[in-house]
Amino acid sequence: MSRIWKSIGFMLLALCALTAIAQDALLKPFVLASKGPGDVAPKVEATKAALAKAGFTVAGSYSPYANTTVIGVTNDELRTTAAKSEHGGFGAAMRVSVVKAGNDVQVSYTNPPYWANVYRMNGELKDTAAKLQAALGKVEEFGAKGLTAEQLRKYHYAFGMEYFNEPNEFVKYGSHEEAVKAVEAGLAAGKQGVTKVYRVDVAGKKEVLFGVAMKGAGDSKQMDDAYIMSEIDFRDVKSAAHLPYDILVADNKVFAQYARFRIAVSFPDLSMMGANSFMNIMKSPEAIREALALTVGGKKDAR
């Protein structure tokens, strides 16, 4: 009888070990680096200084709404890994958010292995993850129950919705240089409420990533950063590092991820219907697509 109980005990231990391994393999979109009393402005400066000391380049930052700043950062690993896969440029930057929520200031950042798999990159950016943790800290990963690398590489929110390899292609120019110039001009003009936050050039490849702010009101509020996040970023730990949105110039073509992919992969556990659900921003994907298309010189119906 004792042998039977020993065998059962070993089996239970093995099951616990396998469960722990499975949990470790689940990735979440964001990392909470720290939280505590303070104000946003000094924490932003301290965060930028810590990132620079860790070898990151601060590509740009903006405040999409009150008590929130988002910082775009890059480094050699991000730029070189981005060059190794099709549209890997979407992963050429990570995003860091500083948010005042209640009495605390939260510092969070995009989880590099999560996004490396989302963007189907040739590598999981583990060195970048380690440097972000060393620079800013790590309390917990958050933003989802968790997905495996395999699930992320073939992610779509639901049947009939877009995958990573089904982005919007807005316009094709005569050359890479012409395409970049047109995007820069469109963002500088800001006529559609879309403006530049940062630019990152992928190493050794004709690929440029733009992080863009989106501001709209009235009929165009559905594409507004503040409006969208007010509907879906409702939990205690904030996911502001979802922002800003991305435009990618790859060779002579201009792309963006369709919002039903880009928003959903940041908020994969968000309900389809009900309070604080995707239903509340149902018109946003098309509003974003139209605003970005017109900004980069494409047509309103460009897909």
Alpha-carbon gap, residue 228 to 242, rounded angstroms: 11
| pTM reported for the whole predicted model | 0.90
Q: Which two tokens stand for residue 14?
A: 């093995």
**DSSP code of residue 10:** H
CB burial of 239-248 (b: ≥16 within 10 Å; e: otherwise) equals: bbbbbbbbbb
What string of pLDDT tens digits covers the 303 residues of the chain? Answer: 455 444 444 444 444 444 444 445 899 999 999 999 999 999 999 999 999 999 999 999 999 999 999 999 999 999 999 999 999 999 999 999 999 999 999 999 999 999 999 999 999 999 999 999 999 999 999 999 999 999 999 999 998 899 999 999 999 999 999 999 999 999 999 999 999 999 999 999 999 999 999 999 888 899 999 999 999 999 999 999 999 999 999 999 999 999 999 999 999 999 998 888 888 999 999 999 999 999 999 988 877
Our count of domains for the chain comes to 1
The radius of gyration of the chain's CA atoms, rounded to the nearest angstrom, is: 20
Q: What residues pair up with 255 in beta bridges, in sequence order?
A: 169, 248
Q: Is residue 8 part of a domain?
A: no
Domain for residue 178, yes or no?
Answer: yes
In a domain, 4, yes or no: no
Residue 98 lies in a domain: yes
> Which parts of 60-196 fold into alpha helices (H)?
76-82, 112-118, 126-136, 149-153, 176-189
Residue 199 lies in a domain: yes
- Look up residue 233 and give its DSSP letter: -
The reply to whether 239 falls in a domain is: yes
Q: Indicate which CATH number applies to the domain containing 191.
A: 3.30.310.70
Residue 9: inside a domain: no
Residue 6 host element (H or E): helix 2-24
Beta bridge partners of 198: 211
**Measured between alpha carbons, how far is 107 from 168 in angstroms, rounded to an integer?**
31
Enclosing domain of residue 56 = 28-295
Tell me, yes or no, whether 180 lies in a domain: yes
Per-residue model confidence (pLDDT) at position 3:
52
* Measured CA distances, 229 to 114, 151, 197, 237, 292 (Å): 21, 25, 17, 13, 18
Question: What DSSP string describes 62-80?
Answer: E-SSTTEEEEEEE-HHHHH
